[in-house]
Chains A and B, each alone.
With several copies, the nearest count.
Chain A
Amino acid sequence: MKYITMVGDQEFQIEIVDERHVSLNGTLYEVDFDSVSGEPVVSLLVDGKSYEAYVYEDEQGLQVLLHGRMFPVLVEDEREKRLRAAAGSRIAERGDFHLRSPMPGLVIALPVGEGQEVQKGEVLVVLESMKMQNELRAPRAGIISRLRVKPGDSVDQHQTLLTVS
């Protein structure tokens, strides 16, 4: 099976040859891959070198935490890559952005109102969790089209707090 794997903006051609062999940009490696200590910790031996990493999934793809560094990775086969190229990356720029709570917590303040214009980086919500007040900021400019919470509300992780259009 052949994959095109992007780590950040570096592209790798990777082929899973069999259980024990992987080729990376044409070079063959002997590998021994195993999940240890329960997900998401994995152990990999590559030509005798021993690596241990966390591999997390997120919306964009996979995150590999290795030796204390986080690598964002996108793994696609040929078909997926072509599909994505055709679709382009127009979606992210347009449409609604739903600000979801990154953790359970208590809404302390909402410095913005419905209909208000906001700039990228502007504080939208102040959320208290684990005794710390955390500021959630706008990832892009836009207009607050909908507020779904008010100060004093307890919110769950991933709960939508407001929408930027």
Chain B
Amino acid sequence: MFKKVVVANRGEIAVRILRACRELGIQTVAVYSDADRQALHVRYADEAYRLGPAPSRESYLRGDKIIEVALRSGAGAIHPGYGFLAERADFAQACLDAGLAFIGPKPSAIAAMGDKAVARNTVSAAGIPVVPGTEGEGSLHDEDLVRLAPQIGFPLLIKATAGGGGKGMREVHSLEEMPGLLHAARREAEASFGDGNVYLEKLVEGARHIEFQILADTHGSVIHLGERECSLQRRHQKLLEESPSPFVGDDEELRQRMGLVAVRAAQAVEYVNAGTIEFLVDKEKNFYFLEMNTRLQVEHPVTEMVTGVDIVKEQIRVARGRQLRYSQSDIRLNGWAIECRVNAEDPFNNFLPSTGRITHSLMPTGPGVRVDSGVYPGFEVSPYYDALISKLIVWGETRAEAILRMRRSLEEYKIAGVRTNIPFHQKLMDSTRFMGGQFDTRFVEERFSMEAVEEGKSAPVDIAAILATLVAHRQTQRAAQIVQRGERDTSNWKWLSRWERLQR
């Protein structure tokens, strides 16, 4: 049974996994790129080894080097986190070949679910409904896809076969758009996954994105930990998740039915360890299998908060060959949890990424608040990796309490040095549609605006005016003081600039 784990990732998820290992008394090994020497995961691990330059291809995607680190350090297992190598069957296999435990599913299950088209075929064969699309057609050329598109009907989605996280995904509303968007989607898929294959899928309108967390051990137990509502997305990137889903709500029968289907989907590929079954749910509560993520999800904490299950620790126990510590009947959803993804991007400037050194940070704390963060004051947010710098998760006895708690936490959360999307989340918390639980996957892009003013909310315009004037006044005064000083002793100026030269 392994006693040392290599965490083959970075950022908040690497820190999350390191903490779980440490709390289980397991030794930890971090790997890092040149951009991450000072990163938290390097600081918190027992050991840390450099992989290479900043770009992922030369560092966090170098499975060979990571396995070498594991062997060199005497580790017995590798946890891939999410992204990077997490859903690469060849990497999982290489770990096993090197005699290392892979903390995740078997390579065969990753392969079966990793090719989205094969996955849809597999679960479809097991009697599970899927969204109509080109599943099971294998790799298709552009001309085939253009030919098949009208049969599926518009609007439809182009999706990367190897995809995830909205990368390589495009929405198509007419046949004319197809060629250009196919090109863009393949380009992004190739850049992100090294695989430009794409497939088509019907776009279910007014749909909710609801997913079920699965846990499975090597002794044949498969359970689900209830659902997560992930409909709040922008450019197919999730921004906010909650558990339970306000759409499923009190419909315990729907929850159990979807949960059973999720378990069956996992069983169809003899799934082991933690995984997630994603469904699209239409307004009539019809649900369709979308895909399975054969790894830990970014949004796993909301499930942890309402079930009390530490998913990462459970992953490690399963990988050690233990039985699950819970049976399905132990799982109860207690209260309500919401997660806001805090991204280094500017919501007032088209959500463009923001990079730079974090000069200051004040995190919200107190009862019912959890922050999973990978950054700290002094750390440089680089353009090499994704924009997620922290996750703010709150728990409340009810959804209303959770929303109020999230509001106060967002207001408390201060980050200086980079812009973040915290104001976006604040705006969302104030929106009546969000409060009412009335939103679908298109809500953020189509019905939400950073500029719109909610009814009944008066903007403190006068306070903004006073604040800006006080800041401007201070700047003017400071400038004036420098001039005054200069007047007293005019010879200073040349020496000041000389001094500045010395400082360089």
A and B: real partners? Answer: yes
Counting from the closest, the 6 A-B pairs by CB-CB distance are A68-B426, A73-B468, A75-B472, A71-B464, A38-B360, A130-B387
The answer to whether A1 and B462 touch across the interface, beta carbons within 8 angstroms, is no
Give residues of chain B (224-280) contacting chain A, Cβ–Cβ below 8 Å. 235, 237
Judge if B19 is at the interface, Cβ distance under 8 Å.
no
Give residues of chain B (56-77) contacting chain A, Cβ–Cβ below 8 Å. 72-73
The answer to whether A33 and B470 touch across the interface, beta carbons within 8 angstroms, is yes
Beyond the given pairs A64-B467, A131-B167, 19 more chain A to chain B contacts, judged by CB atoms under 8 angstroms and listed by A's residue number, are A3-B472, A8-B461, A10-B461, A12-B469, A31-B466, A34-B37, A34-B38, A37-B376, A38-B360, A44-B466, A44-B470, A45-B42, A55-B468, A66-B464, A130-B384, A130-B386, A130-B387, A131-B385, A132-B353
The answer to whether A69 and B459 touch across the interface, beta carbons within 8 angstroms, is yes
Distance in angstroms between the alpha carbons of A33 and B38 in the assembled complex: 10
Partner of B467 from A3, A51, A130 at Cβ < 8 Å: A51
- Known pairs A45-B48, A50-B42; A22 contacts B466 (CB<8 A): yes
Partner of A3 from B237, B385, B423, B469 at Cβ < 8 Å: B469
Distance in angstroms between the alpha carbons of A102 and B345 in the assembled complex: 11
Inter-chain contacts of A118 with B (CB < 8 A):
none
Judge if B410 is at the interface, Cβ distance under 8 Å.
yes
Q: Which residues of A come within 8 Å of B, CB atoms?
A: 1, 3, 5, 7-8, 10, 12, 14, 16, 22, 24, 29, 31-34, 36-46, 48-55, 61-71, 73, 75, 102-105, 108-109, 128-134, 157
The answer to whether A133 and B188 touch across the interface, beta carbons within 8 angstroms, is yes
The answer to whether B187 and A108 touch across the interface, beta carbons within 8 angstroms, is yes
Q: List 25 A-B contacts (CB under 8 A).
A: A1-B473, A1-B476, A3-B472, A12-B469, A16-B469, A33-B467, A37-B416, A41-B414, A49-B46, A51-B460, A51-B463, A51-B467, A53-B463, A54-B414, A62-B472, A67-B460, A68-B410, A68-B422, A68-B430, A75-B471, A130-B344, A130-B345, A130-B387, A132-B235, A132-B353
Inter-chain contacts of A109 with B (CB < 8 A):
187
- Known pairs A7-B461, A37-B414, A103-B354; A42 contacts B467 (CB<8 A): yes
Distance in angstroms between the alpha carbons of A153 and B110 in the assembled complex: 35
Distance in angstroms between the alpha carbons of A34 and B411 in the assembled complex: 18
Inter-chain contacts of B423 with A (CB < 8 A):
65, 68-70
Inter-chain contacts of B191 with A (CB < 8 A):
108, 128, 133
The answer to whether A103 and B416 touch across the interface, beta carbons within 8 angstroms, is no
Partner of B383 from A3, A7, A36, A130 at Cβ < 8 Å: A130
Inter-chain contacts of A42 with B (CB < 8 A):
467, 470-471
The answer to whether A31 and B470 touch across the interface, beta carbons within 8 angstroms, is yes
The answer to whether A46 and B470 touch across the interface, beta carbons within 8 angstroms, is no
Inter-chain contacts of A61 with B (CB < 8 A):
468
- Shortest B256–chain A CB gap in Å is 37
The answer to whether A53 and B467 touch across the interface, beta carbons within 8 angstroms, is yes
Inter-chain contacts of A8 with B (CB < 8 A):
461
CB nearest to A68 among chain B residues: B426
Distance in angstroms between the alpha carbons of A50 and B14 in the assembled complex: 15
CB nearest to B42 among chain A residues: A50
- Shortest A134–chain B CB gap in Å is 6
The answer to whether B466 and A24 touch across the interface, beta carbons within 8 angstroms, is yes
Judge if B192 is at the interface, Cβ distance under 8 Å.
yes
Inter-chain contacts of B354 with A (CB < 8 A):
103
Judge if B149 is at the interface, Cβ distance under 8 Å.
no
- Known pairs A68-B422, A68-B426, A130-B386; A37 contacts B378 (CB<8 A): yes
The answer to whether B47 and A38 touch across the interface, beta carbons within 8 angstroms, is no
Inter-chain contacts of A129 with B (CB < 8 A):
353, 355, 383
Judge if B427 is at the interface, Cβ distance under 8 Å.
yes
- Shortest A4–chain B CB gap in Å is 9
- Known pairs A55-B471, A68-B422, A68-B423; A46 contacts B353 (CB<8 A): no
Distance in angstroms between the alpha carbons of A38 and B45 in the assembled complex: 19
Partner of A43 from B43, B465, B466, B469 at Cβ < 8 Å: B43
The answer to whether A62 and B349 touch across the interface, beta carbons within 8 angstroms, is no
Inter-chain contacts of A67 with B (CB < 8 A):
411, 426, 460
- Shortest B179–chain A CB gap in Å is 14
Judge if B151 is at the interface, Cβ distance under 8 Å.
no
- Known pairs A38-B359, A48-B47, A67-B460; A105 contacts B416 (CB<8 A): no
The answer to whether B464 and A64 touch across the interface, beta carbons within 8 angstroms, is yes
Distance in angstroms between the alpha carbons of A65 and B410 in the assembled complex: 13
Inter-chain contacts of A39 with B (CB < 8 A):
359, 416
The answer to whether A41 and B416 touch across the interface, beta carbons within 8 angstroms, is yes
Distance in angstroms between the alpha carbons of A116 and B465 in the assembled complex: 42
The answer to whether A68 and B427 touch across the interface, beta carbons within 8 angstroms, is yes
Inter-chain contacts of A36 with B (CB < 8 A):
38, 43, 378
Inter-chain contacts of A62 with B (CB < 8 A):
468, 471-472
Inter-chain contacts of B38 with A (CB < 8 A):
34, 36, 43
Judge if B308 is at the interface, Cβ distance under 8 Å.
no
Distance in angstroms between the alpha carbons of A100 and B53 in the assembled complex: 26
The answer to whether A131 and B360 touch across the interface, beta carbons within 8 angstroms, is no
- Shortest B44–chain A CB gap in Å is 8
Give residues of chain B (467-491) contacting chain A, Cβ–Cβ below 8 Å. 467-473, 476
